[in-house]
Amino acid sequence: MSFGQGGSSQQWDPWKPNSQQPWNGGSAGGSPDWAALADASEARAKRRRLLFIGGGALAAVAIGTAVAVAVVSAGSSNQAGPGTESQLPGVSDLPSATGTVPSFEPTSAPPPLDPKDFVASAQKDKAPLSPDILFPGTQLTMGDTVYKKGPTADTKNCASAAKATLPKVLTDNRCTRLIRVTYSRDGVAVTVGVAVFATEAQATKAKQQADAKSIVKSLSGGGVKDFCVGAVCRSTTNAYGRYAYFTLSGFTSGKDVTEKDKAVFRTGDDLQEFTYRQIRRRGEAQASAAAAG
């Protein structure tokens, strides 16, 4: 009896479960169709490879997405853990190039006034001037040394209050006034002479032209004996602004001054320093008044 012919034969589909595999031949003892079986096996293997490749691609996409999410998440934090570098600021944290730039009004303090400018010429040096203004009080203290103030003098005839080569120097440079004052202590006296000129250039030139014989006349009186009259004395010459100033120091006993007489040198140096300070203070006071006005 034959089973392969007739009836409701169903086509075998290797992808459908429970489908009957066809047999070659119509007899009950026929052999299986080995070629069909081989084709079906190869089809199943190919499908598995496709599924494997597709699954791997999907896995790679998933891993890439996870890494991207991790990187974005890490970039959103501005805090750095121990041993790690701090993250760069996000775009929103950067200052805008179009932001408002602060502006400041240009301010500059005027340069300070130079006190020397106010004693450099008669045009600016307008403050009152007299022996008592330039040398105030009845005594002078320099450090721990106190000098007693003696007589003062003021003349417009500068040459009359000078000796040796100084009268010509003062006259040639047009000295307009010569103020003198004497201080004494322990048998040592010093006369300070302040020559006034119209300009700083004239005072400087007078200083340069003065020599060792350019001295002011000693001023005695008011308890101070004559000194430096025919005796060797120590003299100094200097200038500041439109003022040239001279000192003459010696013993009231008429004794000659030698290099060993430190008290005489100190007296002359103290009065020279004090005179410089007084002329400078005169400039400072006028500079302050001009700045305040």
**pLDDT of 81:** 43
Q: Which of 14-18, 90-94, 109-113, 287-291 is the most confident on average?
A: 287-291
**pLDDT of 12:** 52
Q: Give the least confident one: 96-105, 193-202, 219-228.
A: 96-105
pLDDT at position 247 over 60: yes
Structure tokens at 213: 């014989």
**Residue count (the chain):** 293
Q: What percent of the chain has pLDDT over 70?
A: 62
Work out the mean pLDDT of the chain and round it to a whole number: 80
Mean pLDDT of 246-272: 97
Q: Give the least confident one: 78-82, 164-168, 242-246, 287-291.
A: 78-82
pLDDT in tens, 8-19: 445 555 555 555
> What residue type is assigned to position 12 of the chain?
W
Looking at the DSSP bridge assignments, the partners of residue 191 are 182, 248
Q: Would you place residue 229 in the very low, low, confident or very high pLDDT band (cuts 50, 70, 90)?
A: very high
**pLDDT of 293:** 77
pLDDT in tens, 48-59: 555 545 555 545
Per DSSP, the residues of the chain read: --SSSSS------TTSTTPPPPBSSSSTTPPB-HHHHHHHHHHHHHHHHHHHHHHHHHHHHHHHHHHHHHHHHHHT-----TTSPPPPPPGGGSPPTTSPPP------PPPPPPGGGGGSBTTT--S---HHHHS-SSEEEETTEEEEEEEEEEES-GGGGEEETHHHHHHHTT--EEEEEEEEETTEEEEEEEEE-SBHHHHHHHHHH--TTEEEPP--BTTBPP-SSSS--EEEEEEETTEEEEEEEEETT-PPP-TT-HHHHHHHHHHHHHHHHHHHHHHHHHHHHHHH-
Structure tokens at 292: 């305040």
**pLDDT of 189:** 98
Q: Would you place residue 101 in the very low, low, confident or very high pLDDT band (cuts 50, 70, 90)?
A: low
Q: Give the least confident one: 16-20, 63-67, 102-106.
A: 63-67
**pLDDT of 131:** 98
